[in-house]
Chain A
Amino acid sequence: MSVLVLCERRSDGIDEPSLQALAFARALYPGTSVHALACGVAADEVAPLLGAYGVETLHVAEHEVFDTYAPHAVARAAVELAGRLRLHALLAGGSEQGNEVVARVGALLDLPFAANCVAAEAGPPLRVTRVRWGGSLLEEALLHAELALLTVAPHAVAAQETNDGPAAVERFAPALDDADLLVRVRERARAAGGGVTLADAKVVVSAGRGAGSAEGFAPVEELAALLGGAVGCSRAVTMAGWRPHTDQVGQTGTKIAPELYIACGISGATQHMAGCKGAKRILAINTDPDAPILESADYAVIGDLHDVVPAIAAAIRAARNEKAGAE
């Protein structure tokens, strides 16, 4: 018996969630041979990398459709390969792509699928712990299936090198019909570069309902600009039409991981906190000393953002002027 991990390619190799799924699979079935499927990759480049993460055999599906992202074709290739291997489980990273492709495998094979697992115990039945509510709640469940389908929640486990040699490579051309080729990326529209993105910013300054209006974001924008950071907001703000959805931090918005997250006038609903779990430190500025966000924050200032944020901006300018004067 063996396990199969679907590996998503990235420009410079294989994405991090896939490498985490490999570590999860090896811990779940110790000593079992680990197969990987990668579609449309250069086998010579990927085989050493995946070998170093414990893959025995790398299966490379070859077809012109894999020049771009074609999730249904990937699922077809995975199903064809799963039919040839004797598998305990088929896994992928809990990325958007991983979840989509494994859901398609589940549909094709009419098997249950557990998305975003953080832990599992071999069965049968396989016992899984998976995340709900963007990580605010865990569910323990049994997966009743001969072949377990699951994805691994991002950062549930760390990717782990084994320092093994390159994986053996097996190429195959999956049988794909016209319907399998329909869903593929036709065009990639790339946004103009420049500017700090919310997902990558070192500092994020957000405001919630407490901003009061679209204009109420002026001091927040000023502070973010002074710190070279990005502006964020809560869902209440986007629903009110004060900011675009691309600024929203949370379960249904952007997940951020800054050095410092400054959350102004944000109460700290679970859906918002699901988006800023990756922040190293949180500074909450809130009129309510009992706001839930204070239970997740490292620092707090009790007060109205409209008074506090401009005062901070002014103090930063003063401190910088002083430094410049001293030099």
Chain B
Amino acid sequence: MRILVAVKRVPMTGGTIVLTPDARAIATQHLGFTISPHEECAVEEAVRLVEREGGESVVLTLGPPEAEEQLRDAMAVGIDRAIHLVTDEEEWDGQATAGAIVEAVRAEEASSGPFDLLLFGNESADAGGYQVGVRVAHALGLPCVTGLKGIEVRGRLVRCEQEVPGGRDVFEVPLPALLTVKEGLNLPRYPSVPGRMRARQRPIARHEPQRPPARLEKLRFVVPEGERKEAEILGRGPEAAPKVVELLDQLGLLR
């Protein structure tokens, strides 16, 4: 089977978020970057499916030139090749992102044949727009199931599991389909050293799509004023235990 997996480069923010002086971005000069968590699982799932069923996996991202790092990361764990929709540093809204991905998928399918499965993250860790996969599916006329923690391909059908309070909801749709997934779908593997070496040789096709005017237009970011607390230090080491028990008793949690 042929699988496309779409990923997004996001910063690893750590303990506090610091903004650039114009408040239009996160200051990232001291931060590392990663594939957004849900999509790390999408990459792993694509690799496992191709290992089992044969075929080819392609990773796609829309992002700045530096996002090549995340494409190489995906290829280091077994994705065959990559498509990079290269942008400037400006962030694209969900509609514009989906539009560019749709064009790229159509071009790719025209040259290399149709995909059986397209995997997206349910929402990105940073923007949290909840929409790119859904929009791409609609434009391509594909059925779309979202927020999945279980995927099982059975011939030309795919059984999909969503986690809901108290259990799981099961959907079943025919291939080709677009699925959006969540972390917990699987446990992504770490790249091996030979994997990293191989990833350097694998091809990346680059395109530079034109950014349309944003219809969800970002003005600025604000770091919410969290209630910054002064934690009451109950003690150091095991000697603090009686103070903790006192606290538990006060809270009515000892009964």
Is the Cβ of B251 less than 8 Å from the Cβ of A259? yes
Is the Cβ of A300 less than 8 Å from the Cβ of B231? yes
Residue of B nearest to A128 (CB): B216
A122, CB-defined interface residue at 8 Å = no
Assuming the contacts A191-B166, A295-B229, A316-B254, asked whether A308 and B237 have C-beta atoms less than 8 A apart, the reply is: yes
Assuming the contacts A270-B16, A303-B236, asked whether A235 and B37 have C-beta atoms less than 8 A apart, the reply is: yes
B93, CB-defined interface residue at 8 Å = yes
Assuming the contacts A103-B134, A260-B253, asked whether A315 and B184 have C-beta atoms less than 8 A apart, the reply is: no
Contacts of A96 in B (CB 8 A): 146-147
Among B57-65, B193-201, B217-225, the one that faces the other chain is B217-225
Contacts of A69 in B (CB 8 A): 169
Is the Cβ of A307 less than 8 Å from the Cβ of B238? yes
Interface of chain B, main secondary structure: mixed
B22, CB-defined interface residue at 8 Å = no
Contacts of B93 in A (CB 8 A): 112
B128, CB-defined interface residue at 8 Å = yes
Instruction: Report the Cα distance A142→B254, complex, angstroms.
Output: 50
Most A Cβ at <10 Å: residue of B215, B235, B239: B215
Most A Cβ at <10 Å: residue of B135, B219, B244: B244
A296, CB-defined interface residue at 8 Å = yes
8 Å CB contact of A252 from B17, B125, B138, B243: B125
Is the Cβ of B249 less than 8 Å from the Cβ of A319? yes
CB neighbors of B among A179-206 (8 A)? 179, 182-191, 199, 202-203
Question: In the complex, how many residues of chain B place their beta carbon closer than 8 angstroms to a beta carbon of chain A?
Answer: 84
A174, CB-defined interface residue at 8 Å = no
Contacts of A235 in B (CB 8 A): 37
Among A31-39, A48-56, A58-66, A243-251, the one that faces the other chain is A243-251
Instruction: Report the Cα distance A134→B13, complex, angstroms.
Output: 12
Contacts of B218 in A (CB 8 A): 139-141
Assuming the contacts A297-B229, A301-B235, asked whether A270 and B17 have C-beta atoms less than 8 A apart, the reply is: yes
Instruction: Report the Cα distance A307→B172, complex, angstroms.
Output: 49
B107, CB-defined interface residue at 8 Å = no
Is the Cβ of B216 less than 8 Å from the Cβ of A114? yes
Contacts of B27 in A (CB 8 A): none
Contacts of A308 in B (CB 8 A): 237-238, 240-241
B129, CB-defined interface residue at 8 Å = yes
Is the Cβ of A132 less than 8 Å from the Cβ of B128? yes
Give B187 Cβ to nearest chain A Cβ, in Å: 6
Give B128 Cβ to nearest chain A Cβ, in Å: 5
Which residues of B are at the interface with A, using a C-beta cutoff of 8 A?
13-17, 26, 37-38, 93-95, 98, 123, 125-131, 134-135, 137-139, 141, 143-147, 161, 165-174, 182-184, 187-188, 213-224, 226-229, 231-245, 247-249, 251, 253-254
Known contacts A133-B125, A137-B222, A299-B234; 4 additional CB pairs below 8 A are A112-B94, A183-B145, A238-B184, A260-B253
Between A and B, 29 residue pairs with Cβ closer than 8 Å are: A100-B134, A104-B144, A107-B138, A112-B215, A112-B216, A113-B94, A113-B130, A125-B217, A137-B26, A137-B224, A140-B219, A145-B215, A151-B130, A183-B144, A184-B171, A187-B170, A189-B169, A246-B184, A248-B183, A248-B184, A297-B229, A298-B232, A299-B231, A300-B232, A300-B233, A301-B234, A301-B235, A308-B238, A316-B248
